[in-house]
Amino acid sequence: MTIAFDLLKELSEKSFNYKGMRVDFLGLPKFKNHSPNSLRGTMSYLLKEGFVEDCEGLHITMKGKDYINKKIDSLKQFDFKFKKDAPKDLIVMFDVPEPKKAEREWLRWHLKKFNYIMIQKSVWVGPSPLPKKFLDYIENIGLKESLKTFKLAKGYNIKK
């Protein structure tokens, strides 16, 4: 997910403040893995785009809540498992455009989860066939044209 999503999600949930800093229930700062400049820039963007408003503190707007719901709804999780020793006989290639970065990361995450290995940045090999529900969902979220699959005549040998 993106830092914008994380910030909007945080603003929509109840949390604690300590000296003006959001903290978790243990009092540890949230967003400590992001630079202050990155957080400032993202907050400026969220304010400018109308995802949050500043009235006696930052509050998420309806537009921000819709953004969160859209992101959550658009990235369905699949629990399908291939056997570890299943032959890796399907190549998956994709070129997902930058505006769909979250969907591209979601796709990579699922390929790893399905025991696929990366051959090159957008070329993966793993067991076949990919689950029908997964492929239907790929079409649903508009990635079908960005993804190509090729069945291998025999399993891919992993060199160690």
How many whole angstroms separate alpha carbon 119 and alpha carbon 131? 21
This prediction's pTM: 0.55
The whole-number pLDDT of residue 127 equals: 92
Q: Which of 48, 46, 87 is nearest to 67 (CA)?
A: 46
How many whole angstroms separate alpha carbon 31 and alpha carbon 21? 10
The whole-number pLDDT of residue 98 equals: 83
How many whole angstroms separate alpha carbon 26 and alpha carbon 14? 14
How many whole angstroms separate alpha carbon 83 and alpha carbon 127? 9
Torsion sign, CA atoms 89, 114, 145, 105:
negative
pLDDT band at 18 (very low <50, low <70, confident <90, very high): low
70-to-22, 47, 66 alpha-carbon distances in Å: 24, 19, 6
Residue-averaged pLDDT of the chain: 81
DSSP labels, 50-83: TSEEESSSEEE-HHHHHHHHHHHHHS--------
Q: Which of 25, 5, 1 is nearest to 14 (CA)?
A: 25
How many whole angstroms separate alpha carbon 91 and alpha carbon 149? 5
User: pLDDT tens for residues 52-91?
Assistant: 888 777 788 999 888 877 766 656 777 777 877 888 999 9
The whole-number pLDDT of residue 146 equals: 93
How many whole angstroms separate alpha carbon 12 and alpha carbon 6? 10
